[in-house]
Amino acid sequence: KDYQKLYQDIHNLVLNIQSAEVTVTGMSQELDLFNAVYESMDKSIGYIFAQNTTEIMILVEKDSVSGMENLEVTFADGSTVSAQIRGTDVNTGLAVLKAEKSQISEHTLEAIGFLSLGNSDHSALLASPVIAMGNPMGNRSVVYGMITSTDTVVSMPDGNYKLLTTDIYGSENATGILVDLNGKVVGIINQDHNEKSVSNLISALGISEIKSALQRMSNGIENSYIGIQGTDVPSEVARIKEVPVGVYVTGIAMDSPAMQAGIQSGDIIVNVDKKKIISFADYVAVLSSWIPGEEKTIYLMRQGQNGYKLAKVEVVASGL
């Protein structure tokens, strides 16, 4: 009976989360081999996660809506409204759609739910139970399991993301969300960074690192792009090896603003304008308020024959 109650409680939790689930339908017109016009349609799962006074915001996979001429959102009660892309994010492969509340009936507005975004940074996440929802098996499905690893960090241009690995066997093309037993989203399923030996185990990018991107997309703010991959300089390493504290640049994207400005792998970023940088999170925070086309001064420590010396470069952010 205890076992049955446990699964009934999880089932009820899933039903509650599914009130925030929608079907996103994208439609576009294409030409066949004989230049005849036909309509292409793609369906995907999205999640309502925020609202303002006039709109609701829906999280969806970017690839499922890119290039679509018309988008529609179908709610759990079957009602459908049109939607538009509010913003996209290249690193996470996510998009945010907006739907006007004026198009949605009062009955539907009262029935829909909203995702609750949790925290993927706390140490208790390891070995904790999770629910994979969306398309973890390649189609609409729900699977239970636990988080088995939180140590991997995925480094991308201008962003580092914690990779949550689970013991859930699913599709190599899985999409969706990871939810804890409190009903909070702890990760967005992403299989792109799995090793070949575990390609079918469900993994997710931690939600804590994604929140700033969701906020930018929801506000319709274009992402700024510099093209820096980096990591923190641990204070112990800084003390023992006499390395400056800041962001250690591990890589520079080709033809990026960082490369054009002359930033190199091995440089340590210590300031952006007057903002002190002691961690990669500090750098990402500065980038979130950096407007495309705006120029800022990056101060960095560069190693030479006689140790590290201060240098500065002018960087103009591009849009992404």
* pLDDT tens digits, one per residue of 12-48: 999 999 999 999 999 876 666 666 666 778 899 999 9
Residue 17: its H or E element:
helix 2-18
Tell me the residue type at 291.
I
- 15, 109 contact by CB (below 8 A): no
Q: Which residue has the tokens 């439609």?
A: 27
Q: Which two tokens mark 256?
A: 């990026």
Distance CA 320, CA 317 (A): 9
Distance CA 219, CA 207 (A): 18
The DSSP letter of residue 2 is H
Q: Which two tokens mark 243?
A: 């390395």
Q: Which pLDDT score, from 0 to 100, does residue 235 have?
A: 78
- 238, 245 contact by CB (below 8 A): yes
pTM of the model: 0.88
Q: Which two tokens mark 114?
A: 């909203």
Distance CA 16, CA 116 (A): 11
Tell me the residue type at 158.
D
Q: Which residue has the tokens 């990591």?
A: 231
pLDDT tier at 231 (50, 70, 90 boundaries)? very high
Is the confidence at residue 243, as pLDDT, over 90? no
- How do residues 198-207 score in pLDDT, each as one tens digit? 899 999 999 9
pLDDT tier at 119 (50, 70, 90 boundaries)? very high
Helix (H, G, I), strand (E, B) or coil at 80: strand
**CA-based torsion, 58, 61, 66, 71: positive or negative:** negative
Q: Which has the closest alpha carbon to 65: 23, 114, 17?
A: 23
Q: Which two tokens mark 200?
A: 């079918």
Q: Which pLDDT score, from 0 to 100, does residue 37 have?
A: 62
Q: Which has the closest alpha carbon to 153: 209, 199, 114?
A: 209
Q: Which residue has the tokens 């990669």?
A: 280
- 214, 59 contact by CB (below 8 A): yes
Instruction: Calculate the average pLDDT of the chain.
Output: 92
Q: Which pLDDT score, from 0 to 100, does residue 69 have?
A: 86
Distance CA 46, CA 266 (A): 40
